[in-house]
């Protein structure tokens, strides 16, 4: 997120080198995904929006869908819209649309609440599932598996929620970066209930090995939870194919659901009957309208629901997901790699003094680039003034989130050229002294 005002583009944009401009045009012409920018309501001020990893751009379908939801559905159908307009089933209906992008068959993803709440649900449900399964020999049901392995570099919310849930459930949290998780499993695998990781590191854009780490967790008898906030919609996850146990994610980044859009949770069919939702509500009951005092859980993915869904936000998200209509996520991934690969090529040629933290290998790169510089805050501010919107992560990283549906190779080249111009003019030095917002 950023608290900054919209960028200005008052400064004349330097022309890119002819060879790189030709290369950008060639890559764009060869891209199989095609031009989907028309599906988004983008300003025509020449700005380059590289914060899709914080808040996706506005799809054109959203505004009329929200207007219809408010004016016609709510305004005219009123309470009847729960039935006539499908409000009640929206969490599963929209969940299926997201599931299609994650490699999940219908009936396994439900939308609602926020990522923090979904993490809380899964942490405690996984702990209960581990207890139900028992110890390594299947006979110890006293809670022998009480360890949760998590990445210390996870987004802070993931760690905050996990620490609280560990206190509630009497779990031990072991912190280990993903590359060290197999060693932890080899040493303590019989104690591990859950491995909780993010598919993409939010700071660096590094992509972790979801299939391999899932297999390693399962080989040790542990469950696995993947946070896909920074990969859903731009990196294939293959949740069903790789037998992932649980996944969560937000929908306002690369899924373009809008600020505060509801999160989602994946619970595969094989785990739904035993999913011990720690926040049960009337929406997760088997017969919600029976209004009984005794809770009986739903037999499908609705068991992961809690309270009344955020209907307006849900319908906005449903409309936003039409930007993916007819698009295979593998093609989105290919375009993402082309865009970030070309950005690396341009950075090497024009700005070699800026360190690229993101791995260069395609199979280790998500859809964001992290650039390290001692004056990173000043660079972010000076680029913003030139119409290039990125964000800053303390202490020294500028992040560029590359959204393949609406960015072009010419866009990423323009961003690199602007970075070169900022450094040459020393604009980042003055901008470094500007006040830093409390929200970045």
Taking only the tens place, the pLDDT of each residue in 190-241 is 999 999 999 999 999 999 999 999 999 999 999 999 999 999 999 999 999 9
Percentage of the residues of the chain whose pLDDT score is greater than 70: 94
Same domain, 123 and 141: yes
Residue whose pair of structure tokens reads 């020294």 in the numeric block:
396
Same domain, 258 and 355: no
Q: Region 307-332: what's the mean pLDDT?
A: 97
CB contact at 8 A, 420 and 383: no
**Beta strand pairing call for 192-198 and 223-227:** parallel
Domain boundary among 267, 294, 324: 324
Same domain, 347 and 310: no
Q: Identify the DSSP state of 14.
A: P
Q: Region 343-360: what's the mean pLDDT?
A: 97
Please report the pLDDT score of residue 432 as a whole number. Answer: 83
> pLDDT by residue (tens digit) across 304-316?
999 999 999 999 9
439 pLDDT exceeds 80? no
Same domain, 105 and 189: yes
2 pLDDT exceeds 50? no
142 pLDDT exceeds 80? no
> pLDDT by residue (tens digit) across 7-61?
555 456 788 999 999 999 999 999 988 789 999 999 999 999 999 999 999 999 9
pLDDT-derived band at 124 (thresholds 50, 70, 90) equals: very high
Same domain, 254 and 394: no
Percentage of the residues of the chain whose pLDDT score is greater than 90: 90
Same domain, 43 and 126: no
136 pLDDT exceeds 60? no
Please report the pLDDT score of residue 133 as a whole number. Answer: 85
Please report the pLDDT score of residue 165 as a whole number. Answer: 98
CB contact at 8 A, 307 and 282: yes
Please report the pLDDT score of residue 229 as a whole number. Answer: 98
Domain boundary among 324, 339, 354: 324
Same domain, 208 and 243: yes
Please report the pLDDT score of residue 431 as a whole number. Answer: 86
**Model-wide pTM > 0.85:** yes
Does any domain span residue 7? no
Domain boundary among 324, 351, 385: 324
pLDDT-derived band at 94 (thresholds 50, 70, 90) equals: very high
Q: Identify the DSSP state of 61.
A: T
> pLDDT by residue (tens digit) across 368-391?
999 999 999 999 999 999 999 999
Count of domains forming the chain: 2
Mean pLDDT of the chain: 94
> pLDDT by residue (tens digit) across 243-263?
999 999 999 999 999 999 999
CB contact at 8 A, 264 and 110: yes
Q: CA-to-CA distance for 195 and 176, rounded, in angstroms? A: 10
Same domain, 295 and 192: yes
Comparing 130-134, 192-196, 335-339, which segment has the lowest mean pLDDT?
A: 130-134
Please report the pLDDT score of residue 135 as a whole number. Answer: 57
Q: Region 312-334: what's the mean pLDDT?
A: 98
Does any domain span residue 278? yes
CB burial of residue 266 (10 Å; 0-12, 13-18, 19+): buried
CB contact at 8 A, 354 and 400: no
Q: CA-to-CA distance for 254 and 250, rounded, in angstroms? A: 9
Does any domain span residue 346? yes
**CA nearest 192: which of 115, 272, 133?**
133
CB contact at 8 A, 366 and 178: no
Does any domain span residue 395? yes
**Beta strand pairing call for 388-389 and 397-401:** unpaired
Q: CA-to-CA distance for 278 and 202, rounded, in angstroms? A: 27
Does any domain span residue 99? yes
Same domain, 154 and 276: yes
Domain range for residue 40?
18-59+328-431
Same domain, 356 and 411: yes
Q: Region 408-422: what's the mean pLDDT?
A: 97
The enclosing domain of 131 has a CATH number of 3.40.640.10
Does any domain span residue 54? yes
The enclosing domain of 342 has a CATH number of 3.90.1150.10
Catalytic residue annotation: 155, 227, 252-253, 399
Please report the pLDDT score of residue 430 as a whole number. Answer: 85
Q: Region 279-308: what's the mean pLDDT?
A: 96
Does any domain span residue 338? yes
Same domain, 249 and 377: no
Same domain, 142 and 250: yes
Q: Region 98-120: what's the mean pLDDT?
A: 98
Please report the pLDDT score of residue 3 as a whole number. Answer: 42
Does any domain span residue 3? no
């Amino acid at each position: 997120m950023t608290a900054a005002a919209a960028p200005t583009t008052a400064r004349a944009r330097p022309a890119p080198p002819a060879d790189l401009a030709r290369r950008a045009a060639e890559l764009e012409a060869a891209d199989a995904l095609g031009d989907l920018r028309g599906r988004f309501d983008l300003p025509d001020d020449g700005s380059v929006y590289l914060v899709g990893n914080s808040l996706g751009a506005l799809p054109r379908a959203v505004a009329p869908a929200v207007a219809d939801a408010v004016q016609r559905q709510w305004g005219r159908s009123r309470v009847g819209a729960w039935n006539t307009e499908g409000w009640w089933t929206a969490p599963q209906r929209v969940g299926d649309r997201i599931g299609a992008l994650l490699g999940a068959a219908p009936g396994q993803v439900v939308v609602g609440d926020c990522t923090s709440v979904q993490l809380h649900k899964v942490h405690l449900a996984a702990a209960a599932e581990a207890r139900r399964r028992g110890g390594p020999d299947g006979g110890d049901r006293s809670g022998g598996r009480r360890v949760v392995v998590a990445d210390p570099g996870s987004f802070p919310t993931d760690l905050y929620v996990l620490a609280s849930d560990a206190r509630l459930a009497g779990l031990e949290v072991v912190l280990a970066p993903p590359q060290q998780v197999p060693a932890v499993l080899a040493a303590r695998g019989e104690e591990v209930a859950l491995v909780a990781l993010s598919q993409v590191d939010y700071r660096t854009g590094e992509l972790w090995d979801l299939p391999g780490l899932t297999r390693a967790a399962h080989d040790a008898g542990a469950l696995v939870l993947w946070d896909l906030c920074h990969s859903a919609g731009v990196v294939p996850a293959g949740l069903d194919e790789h037998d992932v146990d649980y996944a969560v994610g937000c929908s306002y980044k690369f899924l373009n659901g809008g600020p505060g859009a509801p999160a989602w949770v994946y619970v595969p069919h094989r785990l739904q009957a035993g999913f011990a939702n720690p926040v049960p509500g009337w929406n997760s009951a088997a017969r919600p309208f029976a209004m009984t005092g005794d809770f009986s859980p739903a037999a499908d993915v609705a068991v992961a629901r809690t309270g009344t869904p955020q209907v307006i936000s849900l319908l906005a998200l449903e409309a936003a997901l039409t930007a993916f209509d007819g698009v295979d996520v593998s093609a989105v991934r290919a375009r993402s790699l082309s865009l970030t690969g070309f950005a690396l090529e341009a950075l090497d040629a024009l700005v070699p003094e800026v360190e690229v933290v993101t791995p260069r290998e395609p199979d280790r790169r998500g859809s964001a680039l992290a650039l390290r510089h001692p004056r990173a805050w000043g660079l972010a501010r000076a680029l913003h003034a030139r119409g290039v919107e990125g964000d800053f992560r303390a202490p020294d990283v500028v992040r560029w989130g590359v959204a393949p549906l609406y960015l072009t190779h010419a866009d990423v080249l323009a961003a690199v050229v602007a970075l070169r111009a900022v450094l040459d003019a020393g604009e980042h030095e003055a901008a470094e002294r500007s006040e830093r917002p409390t929200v970045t």
